[in-house]
Amino acid sequence: MPLGQLFLELGTVILVLALVGRLAGRIGITPIPLYLLAGIVVQLVMHLGEAPEHFIHTGGEIGAVLLLFTLGLEYTSDELRSNLKANSRIGVLDFALNFTPGLLAGLLLGFPALGAVLLGGVTYLTSSGIASKILADLGRLGNRETPTILAVCVLEDVVMAVYLPVVAALLLGGTLLAVGLNLFVALAAFGAAFFLAMRYGHVLSRVMNVGSNEALLLGVLGLVLVVAGVADLLKVSAAIGAFLVGIALSGEVAERARHQIEPLRDLFAAVFFVLFGLQLELDRVPDVLVPALLLALVTSLTKFWVGWQGAARAGVQTRGRFRAGTTLIPRGEFSILIAGLGLTTVPTLGPLAAVYVLVTAIIGPVLARFDGQLAPLLERKKPQPAQGG
Please determine, for residue 235, whether its predicted confidence score (pLDDT) is greater than 80: no
pLDDT(279) > 80:
no
CA 232 – CA 225 distance, rounded (Å)? 10
Dist CA 362 CA 31 (whole Å): 10
**Is the model's pLDDT at 74 over the cut of 60?**
yes
| Least confident piece of the model among 191-205, 215-229, 256-270, 311-325 | 191-205
User: What pLDDT band is residue 382 in, cutting at 50, 70 and 90?
Assistant: very low
Q: What is the DSSP letter of 175?
A: -
CA angle 131, 222, 209 (to 5 degrees): 95
SS3 73: coil
Q: What one-letter code names the amino acid at 246?
A: G
Cα–Cα dist 357/347, whole Å: 17
The reported pTM is: 0.73
Summarised one tens digit per residue, pLDDT across range 119-149 is: 999 999 898 778 888 888 888 888 889 988 9
CB atoms within 10 A of CB 191: 13
Q: Is residue 94 predicted with pLDDT exceeding 70?
A: yes
- The helix-helix angle for 3-27 and 251-279 (nearest 10°) equals 100
Residue 189 in this model has a pLDDT that exceeds 80: no
Looking at residue 161, its pLDDT comes to 66
Separation of alpha carbons 265 and 288, rounded Å: 33
Question: Which distant-in-sequence residues (6+ apart) come within 8 Å of 99 by Cβ?
Answer: 120, 121, 123, 124
Spatial distance between the Cα atoms of 369 and 29, rounded to a whole number of angstroms: 6
Long-range contacts of 334-337 (CB under 8 A, 24+ apart): 334/125, 334/127, 334/128, 334/160, 334/237, 334/239, 335/121, 335/122, 335/123, 335/125, 335/127, 336/276, 336/279
Q: Which CATH number fits domain 49-272+281-371: 1.20.1530.20, 2.30.130.10, 1.10.8.60, 2.40.160.40?
A: 1.20.1530.20
Could you tell me which of 56, 67, 74 has the C-alpha nearest to residue 32? 67
DSSP string, 176-215: HHHHHHHHHHHHHHHHHHHHHHHHHHHHHHHHH--S-HHH
Query: Which letter, b or e, does each residue of 320-358 get, where b requires 16 or more Cβ atoms within 10 Å of its Cβ?
Result: bbbbbbbbbbbbbbbbbbbbebbeeebebbbbbbbbbbb
Q: pLDDT by residue (tens digit) across 309-335?
A: 999 998 998 999 999 999 999 997 678
Q: Angle at CA 254, nearest 5°, toward 250 and 258?
A: 155
CB 346 within 8 A of CB 117: no
Distances (CA, A) of 335 to 247, 250, 253, 338, 350: 24, 31, 33, 5, 10
Q: List the domain boundaries for the chain.
A: 49-272+281-371
**What is the distance between the alpha carbons of residues 362 and 369, in angstroms, rounded to a whole number?**
11
